[in-house]
Structure 1
Amino acid sequence: LPVPQTASSRGGVRSVFIDIAPDSSEAVESYTVLRGRTESGSYQEVGKVENSSRHVSFEDRNLLDAETYHYKVVGRGRSGMTTVPSQPIRVATAGPPDAVTGLSAQSGLIRKVILQWQASFDPNVKGYNVYRRTSGDTWAKIKTLDGQSRASYADEGLDDEKTYTYRIAAFNVVETESSPSRTAAATTKGPPSPVTGLKAASGEARKVSLSWNPVNEPEVKGYAVYRASQETGPFETIKSIEGREQTQFVDGGKKGYFSDDAGLQDETRYYYKVRAVNVVDVQSPESRAAIAVTKPVPTPVTGIRTGEFEVKQVTVEWEPNPEPDIAKYEVFRGEEQASVNKSLGEIPGSAYRFVDKGLKDGTTYHYKVRAVDKDGLIGKFSIAVRSSTKPLPRNPRGIKAAFDGGQVIVSWAPNPEPDIVKYAVSQKGFMFWDKAGESNGPSFAFRGEVKKGKTLTFRVTAV
């Protein structure tokens, strides 16, 4: 029988492949493969393969990494005879993958580090293991990546402004790792830079307009606005603003439609701070505080005064308010000083006089006035002043009536009022008082029908 000839051999991952040049299958039925650790040492049978006369190959498995083995092949004829062993062949198994090269780590990213390396050209490489450590820590495997061609990885969910060190190891189909790559370190990005140039406008009605310089960092997505009523705080978030270029905000005091937070108070000091916010909601250090004082309400109206004893009216006057933006004045009346609450109307801010008409005679009234500015801020009331309308003339006293020939002379005491212009005399009829006449003095001659035995009744009214 012919001595077997090997066509080729090659080492694999923990395996060896041997290709045998087949002889005639009529002469050689099968081949036995022997293995030894040294060329001249003993050999052990490791397998048998049938002769197909076309392609005969054998795989020796479960070997050690990066080890050299020696093989001989013995043919067996159909008669049971065996051939002389072939010349020994020397084959080495594959070792661990080569170390990964070109590892780099990108710093300055938000809560992540991007790793890149040179992908292995070794066909036995199945993937890569990523290892990480921080200062003082031991190495920890954080990710297994499948695929020989993988050459990058993003390590996410990291802390802000922290340094991480990485190394990569390739692994083959039996999970054997290469030696570690050289290390690469990267530092994650810290919080955004503080907001600068914060300004708060004073003198606005129940609001404060804020403005600041934009933080020109690409990861900044907006700003958080804080407010406090004291310099030492506490500062509470009143607004989250979307957009890096949105650098203005008007604080009207209300946080939302269903909020119990009222508007800003008049003539009140407020403190503000602003923080930049990045895409993962990390906030910058707080800005310097800006201070604003809201607009005060108009001062109380002064110099209020009234006319006295006007006929069925009272004239109310006052001094103009010192504020330049008074839009109107509101006048209130009451019959008691403690209840001056009836609104009489609104007077333009350029007018300082109001006439209250249609009043009752001889009645005392109380008045207050307050100013309202163009922003609708209502000032405090003036002091209350009072005035009385002119009373009706007193009823004439000492009325007498006496017959004098064919007439009746009606007389009375003159009224004390200095402005009496006349007296009206009436005679009592069956059901009503009938006008008898008028007199400029304290007497009147009635020349109407006078019947003997009839009683006449007169009354006198001063006008």
Structure 2
Amino acid sequence: MLVSCAPTRKNNVLSFFGKKEETLNPNLPIVQGIKTIDDVQSVGFEWQPVSNPGLIDGFVLYRMQADQSFRRVAIVRNPLATHYYDDGLTPQTQYYYQIATIGKNGGISRASETISVRTSFINPVESVFASHVEPKEIKVFWSPHPNPSIDKYIIQREGSDGKFSNIGVVKNRLYVEYFDKDLPDGSAYRYRVIAESFEGAKSLPSAVVTGRTKEPPIGVTSVQASNNLTRKIQLSWTPSDQKDVVSYRIYAANKMDERFKNIAETNDTSYLDNVDADGVQRFYKVVAVDKYNLESAMPTTAIQGMTLPRPATPMITKGTIEDGQAIIEWQPIQDGRVKGYAVYRFDGNSSSKPLRFGDITKTRFVDNNMVSGQKYRYQVVSVDGAGLESNPSKEVELRLDR
């Protein structure tokens, strides 16, 4: 009875030959009752014992593929043998065989009837799945192949040309997952899995499955930037309605054509940028960040913000000494944001620290605290409601003479 058809190595009683002249001996027994069993890369044979084994020295096996001729592939040097296997074959391929007996004197019997055999295949891997929620990677997983001869799995991914190529190998029949990493966000890929036996025979490809990396968050909307704060710019935006968005990143640049740099990250829907400069423009882009640290797409346009510029500078119209006191007058600033004025008095040299006279609501200042013979220099600034001063006016120099 034929019970084994896929051994791992050649039987050591077999010898292989090339083509050579053979002498037909019609008196030798003919092999009868041939049975076969096919495997993926091998075929097993069984035949009836010959009626007079004393006339023969063994058996010779011939093999033929389509559009070829029979050639001798092996000799069995045992007249009592009734089994043989032929391996190293190609899966899913048609082969034709004949067996003849070898006489004591070297002659060959008539060939047996031609036996047609087709090698089989390893069933494809089943229940293949691919993930759709992982950031920058896709998990491919499947059911363990039921064939215990499986040694490994080959994972293939379809390229832009529509062809599948190997991207990874998973060793061990029971290890049934593979992670395809470093992929772009929101991208889809098609995969299939092939099982390979210890002998190197490959299964049919599995069904093709599609996996997708996680989509990045939706972009931030309604971003606004202030232009009326002193040395600060207030940003605000509409909160994301996506549950996995955990924060927002703010990118800024001083010019539209400059590289935007990350300046802050916040869980709020507003951010105060302390610019510490007057009348400065800055450009902003805000992106949402999810729990996987994926950012929404960087906006193509930026929001412009600006710090409040200094108020207008007063123009001094009068600077005189009258009745032993300095009189300074200036034109009023016609700007609603100006709430008052301040006068700076410098004593003596230019490096002295000035005295500041503030909370002036009129356009006239009287200095009655002067020392005779001392020079004084005066400057006037306007002051807005937040205390931001204008640039100083031109100086007026006065001296009290007694």
TM-score (norm 1): 0.64
SS of aligned partner of 2:173 = coil
1:240 aligns with 2:169: yes
Structure 1 equivalent of residue 190 of structure 2: 271
Amino acid at match of 2:140: L
Q: Deviations over 1:303-328 (max 9, x none)?
A: 11122221211111111223322243
Q: Given the superposition, is the C-alpha separation of residues 425 and 175 from structure 1 closer, same or farther in structure 2, using an over 3 Å criterion?
A: closer
1:458 to 347, 372, 378: 378
**Aligned position for 2:320:** 402
2:38·2:44 contact (CA, 8 Å) conserved in 1? Answer: no
**Matching residue of 1:167:** 99
- Please point out which of 146, 149, 153 is paired with 1:223: 153
Greater Rg, structure 1 or structure 2?
A: 1
Aligned residues: 353
Query: Which deviations, in whole Å up to 9, do the C-alpha atoms of 1:282-316 show, x marking residues without a partner?
Result: 43333332223332222221111122221211111
What is the CA–CA distance in structure 1 between the aligned matches of 2:147 and 2:375, rounded to whole Å? 111
User: Could you say which residue in structure 2 is the equivalent of 1:365?
Assistant: 282
Partner residue, 1:307: 226
> Using the alignment, how far apart are the partners of 1:340 and 1:160 within structure 2?
59
> Please, which of 202, 212, 217 is the counterpart of residue 283 of structure 1?
202
Question: Which residue of structure 2 aligns with residue 158 of structure 1?
Answer: 89
Give how far 1:360 is off.
0.8
Q: Does 1:143 align with 2:61?
A: no
- Out of 133, 140, 143, the residue aligned to residue 210 of structure 1 is 140
Matched residue, 2:243: 324
Aligned to 1:55: none
Letter in 1 for 2:120: G
Q: Which residue of 125, 131, 140 corresponds with 1:201?
A: 131
1:107 aligns with 2:37: yes
* Cα distance between partner residues in 2 of 1:273 and 1:206: 19
Please tell me whether residue 387 in structure 1 is matched to residue 305 in structure 2.
Answer: yes
- CA pair 434-113 structure 1, distance change in 2 beyond 3 A: closer
Q: Distance in 2 between matches of 1:274 and 1:394?
A: 75
Q: CA deviation at 1:189?
A: 3.4
| In 2, Cα distance between equivalents of 1:123 and 1:193 | 42
2: CA distance, partners of 1:248 / 1:112: 30
Instruction: Identify unmatched segments of 5+ residues in structure 2.
Output: 1-24, 384-402
User: What does residue 369 of structure 2 align with?
Assistant: 448
Q: Which amino acid aligns with 2:304?
A: R
Deviation at 1:104, TM superposition (A): 5.5
CA contact (8 A) 1:103 1:167 kept: no
State the AA in 2 paired with 1:377: L
Residues 370 and 380 of structure 1 are in contact (CA less than 8 Å); yes or no, is this contact kept in structure 2?
yes
The answer to whether the Cα contact below 8 Å between 2:279 and 2:310 also exists between their aligned partners in 1 is: yes
Is contact 2:345-2:376 (8 Å) kept? no
Query: What is the Cα deviation at residue 450 of structure 1?
Result: 4.0
Q: Which amino acid aligns with 1:346?
A: E
Q: Which amino acid aligns with 1:459?
A: Q
Structure 1 residue runs of 5 or longer lacking an equivalent are: 1-94, 253-262
Q: What is the distance in 2 between the residues matched to 1:97 and 1:170?
A: 11
Query: Are the equivalent residues in 2 in contact too, given 1:407–1:450 (CA < 8 A)?
Result: no
Whether the 8 Å CA contact 1:301–1:370 is kept in 2: the answer is: yes
SS of the aligned residue for 1:292 comes to strand
The structure with higher relative contact order (CA 8 Å, sep 6+) is 2
Cross-structure match for 1:15? none
Residue aligning to 1:40: none
Aligned-pair identity (%): 21
Question: What is the CA deviation profile of residues 47-90 of structure 1, one whole-angstrom value per residue up to 9, with x for unaligned ones?
Answer: xxxxxxxxxxxxxxxxxxxxxxxxxxxxxxxxxxxxxxxxxxxx
CA contact (8 A) 1:340 1:366 kept: no
Residue deviations 1:173-224, cap 9 Å, x none?
A: x4356x5697695735312123332222223322222223333234433333
1:48-59 to 2 correspondences below 5 Å? none
Q: State the SS of the aligned residue for 2:238.
A: coil
Q: 1:120, 1:144 → 2: CA distance? A: 16
